[in-house]
Amino acid sequence: MSLDRLWSGWRADYVGSTGTGSGTGSVFTEILGSGLPDDETFIVHRGPTCFVILNAYPYSTGHMLVLPYREVADLEQLNEEESGELWATVTAAVAAVKRSHRPHALNVGINLGASAGGSISQHLHVHVVPRWEGDANFMTAVANTRTLPEPLGETHRRIRSAWTSGTSPQEGTGR
């Protein structure tokens, strides 16, 4: 089977920054230390020990990462407070994206270590990925390429609003 490639040179900055940036840690640690506002870094929630950020290269619209501020690679390295908040924040992230985007289902998971698929394995993060029936489309079937119908800025606005409102889901499918 041959491997098809889609040129995405715009990712070079991101790939080059994972673990090789300023030497201060993961891309997440660098984002936290950047001093940039949350709407520019796409951070949708900050808690005492954990935060939530949109995935810059999402599998689907609304793909979030829940992670501790402290850069650790494994679950057993979390202290009790971080562990409790991490799972509570995953639950809150699921509720927020259900309100903001009304997905048909969600994937929630962790890749522990590079061999498990963790692209930034030195900083533990939990993926929250909204899914819709039929979310594979022509591009996925023919070109093995995902298309995303909403810019990250709009996704950030919708999820952050749903996170703070705690109200019932918005009308429509959200796609």
DSSP 8-27: -GGGHHHHHHTTTSSSSSSH
CA–centroid distance for 132 within its chain? 17
Q: Which CATH architecture fits 22-162?
A: 2-Layer Sandwich (3.30)
**Residue 43: its pLDDT value, please?**
97
Q: Which of 123, 125, 127, 156 is catalytic?
A: 125
Is residue 45 among the annotated active site residues?
Answer: no
pTM, full prediction: 0.76
**pLDDT under 70: residue ranges of the chain:** 1-23, 135-147, 165-175
For residue 129, what is the enclosing H or E element? strand 126-131
> What tens digit of pLDDT does each residue of 146-158 get?
567 788 888 899 9
CA-CA-CA-CA torsion for 120, 125, 126, 130, nearest 10 degrees? -60
Can you give the pLDDT at residue 169?
40
Cα separation of 77 and 82, whole Å?
Answer: 9
Give domain limits for the chain.
22-162
Q: Which pLDDT score is estimated for 33? A: 93
How confident is the model at residue 78, as a pLDDT? 97
| Model pLDDT, residue 145 | 58
pLDDT at site 166 = 61
Q: How far is CA 96 from CA 13, 40, 89, 102, 107, in A?
A: 30, 20, 10, 9, 14
Amino acid at 98: K
